[in-house]
C-alpha cells in the first residue's frame, strides 16, 4: 500500500465535488487539493442548465468560464398559454467541465478511475489500497440513504439532435407541456444550439425511481415529428433521476452519508425541492469551502452540516409546494401547478427558482389563481 498526503481530499468528481476543487484550487494555489472520481471522466455525461438569477453575484465568476451555451430569455408553453421570460439561461456541458478542471489542477491532483472504499474526516482508503491522509475530507459522491426521505422523482432523458433542415426554436424552452398533457406529469425541454441543431429532453415526475429509456426516446422522436423536423443524427445524450424531497428527517439523512464526514451536493441534501437541480447549491458550497481558512475535517463538517441544515429548514415551503403538485394532485393534472406559477410576476418566478421567496411572494402564490392554499403562506 502507498500513501498520499494533501490538504483537502474531495471524493466525487461530479458537479459539486468538481466545483469545490476548482474554487479551492483558484483561491488557495499553495494548498494541495485532491479530487477522486471512480469514473474515467469528471462530471459524467450531463448538460447542466441554470438561470442567471439562480446564482449569487459572488458565484458567477466560478461558472462563467464553464458555460457552453447561453440564451437571453427562456420560454414556457402550457395548454392555456405560452410566455417568454426575460432572464438569461445558460448550459454547461460536462466535457467542458472535465477539461476546465484538468487545465486548472495539476495532473497528479486528479485521480479518475479510482474508487474510495473507506472514508473518515481526515483520510480515504482507495480500492487499490492507496491510503490518503488529508487535513480534511469532503464526500460528494452522490446521495446518502434516500429511503430516509419522502421522495418523488424527476426523470429526464435528452439528446443533442442534428436535423435535416433548420428548426423554428429561437429561445430556450424550459417547459413545453402543451402536447399530450393527459399522459401524466411530463413535458419537453428544448435548447437551440445552431440553426439545424438543438437539444431536446423529455422530463417527467413520477413516484417510482425506475426509468423507461425507450419510452423517453420515443417521446423525443415524436416531439420532433410534431414540428415536422427530420432527425439526421443524435449525440451527447444524457439521462438522470433526481430526487424530489417532500419530507424526511435531515439529521438521519446527513448521518447516513457518513458519521462526522463533511458532505456536499446530493449527499448533503442540497437540491431544489421542486426541480431537483443542485447547481446553485454546488456553486455556493464551493465558495464557502474556498473562503474557509480551516480545512480540517472537524471544521469542514461543522460548516457544511450547519449550512445544509439551515437550507433544509428554509426550504419547507418548497417541499409543501412539491407535495401539493405531486401527491395532492392527480398525475395528469400536476403540470397545472407550474402553469399557475409561470403566470405570476416574472421576478417572483425568478425568486422561486432561486429559492428566495419572501412572505409577499407566498401571499401572491396563495391568492386568486395562485397554486398554493392560503394557509401555506403562514407556515415556514
Side-chain-side CA neighbours of 316 within 13 Å: the count stands at: 11
Mean pLDDT value across residues 239-266:
97
Position 180 scores a pLDDT of: 63
Q: Is the pLDDT of residue 185 over 60?
A: yes
Position 376 scores a pLDDT of: 62
Mean pLDDT value across residues 171-195:
88
Position 380 scores a pLDDT of: 52
Query: What does the mean pLDDT of the chain come to?
Result: 95
pTM of the entire structure? Answer: 0.95
The DSSP code sequence of 194-235 is ETTEEEEEEEEEESS----HHHHHHHHHHHHHHTT--EEEEE
Position 1 scores a pLDDT of: 45
pLDDT in tens, 345-364: 999 999 999 999 999 999 99
Contacts by 183-186 with C-beta closer than 8 Å and gap 24+?
183/332, 184/331, 184/332, 185/326, 185/331, 185/332, 185/334, 185/335, 186/219
The DSSP code sequence of 286-341 is HHHHHH-S---HHHHHHHHHHHHHHHHHHTHHHHHHHHHHHTSS-GGGTHHHHHHH
Confidence class for position 75, pLDDT limits 50, 70, 90: very high
Confidence class for position 332, pLDDT limits 50, 70, 90: confident
Mean pLDDT value across residues 94-123:
97
- Other CB atoms within a 10 A radius of the CB of residue 217 amount to 16
pLDDT in tens, 136-153: 999 999 999 999 999 999
Report the distance separating Cα 327 and Cα 325, nearest Å. Answer: 6
Beta strands in 82-148 (DSSP E): 82-85, 89-93, 110-112, 116-120, 123-126, 131-139
pLDDT in tens, 268-290: 999 999 999 999 999 999 999 99
Domains observed in the chain: 3-67+89-143+250-314 (3.50.50.60), 148-245 (3.30.70), 316-378 (no CATH)
pLDDT in tens, 117-141: 999 999 999 999 999 999 999 999 9
Position 291 scores a pLDDT of: 98
Q: Is the pLDDT of residue 241 over 50?
A: yes
pLDDT in tens, 300-312: 999 999 999 999 9
Three cell numbers written together for 265: 451536493
Three cell numbers written together for 354: 432561486
| pLDDT > 90 in the chain, percent | 91
pLDDT in tens, 148-169: 999 999 999 999 999 999 999 9
Position 373 scores a pLDDT of: 87
Mean pLDDT value across residues 174-181:
82
Three-state secondary-structure class, residue 80: coil
Amino acid at each position: 500500500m502507498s500513501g498520499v498526503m494533501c490538504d483537502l481530499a474531495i471524493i466525487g468528481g461530479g458537479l459539486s465535488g468538481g466545483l469545490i476543487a476548482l474554487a479551492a484550487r483558484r483561491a488557495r494555489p499553495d494548498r494541495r487539493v485532491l479530487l477522486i472520481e471512480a469514473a474515467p471522466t469528471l462530471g459524467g455525461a450531463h448538460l447542466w442548465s441554470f438561470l442567471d438569477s439562480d446564482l449569487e453575484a459572488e458565484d458567477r465568476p466560478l461558472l462563467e468560464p464553464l458555460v457552453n451555451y447561453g440564451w437571453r430569455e427562456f420560454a414556457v408553453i402550457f395548454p392555456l398559454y405560452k410566455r417568454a421570460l426575460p432572464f438569461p439561461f445558460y448550459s454547461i456541458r460536462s466535457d467542458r467541465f472535465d477539461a476546465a478542471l484538468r487545465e486548472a489542477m495539476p495532473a497528479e491532483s486528479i485521480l479518475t478511475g479510482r474508487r474510495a472504499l473507506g472514508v473518515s474526516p481526515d483520510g480515504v482508503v482507495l480500492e487499490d489500497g492507496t491510503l490518503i491522509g488529508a487535513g480534511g475530507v469532503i464526500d460528494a459522491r452522490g446521495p446518502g440513504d434516500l429511503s430516509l426521505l419522502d421522495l418523488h422523482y424527476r426523470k429526464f432523458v435528452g439528446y443533442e439532435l442534428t436535423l435535416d433542415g433548420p428548426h423554428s426554436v429561437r429561445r430556450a424552452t424550459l417547459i413545453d407541456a402543451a402536447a399530450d398533457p393527459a399522459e401524466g406529469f411530463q413535458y419537453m425541454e428544448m435548447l437551440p444550439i445552431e440553426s439545424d441543431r438543438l437539444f431536446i429532453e423529455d422530463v417527467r415526475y413520477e413516484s417510482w425511481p425506475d426509468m423507461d429509456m425507450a419510452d423517453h426516446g420515443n417521446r423525443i422522436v415524436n416531439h420532433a415529428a410534431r414540428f415536422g423536423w427530420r432527425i439526421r443524427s443524435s449525440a451527447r445524450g444524457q439521462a438522470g433521476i433526481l430526487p424530489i424531497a417532500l419530507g424526511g428527517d435531515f439529521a438521519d439523512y446527513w448521518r447516513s452519508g457518513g458519521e462526522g464526514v463533511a458532505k456536499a451536493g446530493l449527499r448533503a441534501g442540497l437540491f431544489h425541492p421542486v426541480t431537483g437541480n443542485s447547481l446553485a447549491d454546488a456553486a455556493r458550497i464551493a465558495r464557502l469551502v474556498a473562503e474557509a481558512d480551516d480545512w480540517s475535517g472537524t471544521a469542514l463538517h461543522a460548516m457544511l452540516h450547519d449550512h445544509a441544515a439551515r437550507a433544509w429548514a428554509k426550504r419547507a415551503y418548497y417541499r409543501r409546494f412539491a407535495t401539493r403538485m405531486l401527491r395532492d394532485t392527480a398525475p395528469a393534472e400536476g403540470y397545472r401547478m407550474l402553469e399557475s406559477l409561470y403566470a405570476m410576476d416574472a421576478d417572483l418566478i425568478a425568486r422561486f427558482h432561486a429559492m428566495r421567496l419572501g412572505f409577499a411572494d407566498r401571499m401572491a402564490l396563495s391568492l386568486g389563481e395562485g397554486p398554493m392554499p392560503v394557509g401555506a403562506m403562514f407556515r415556514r
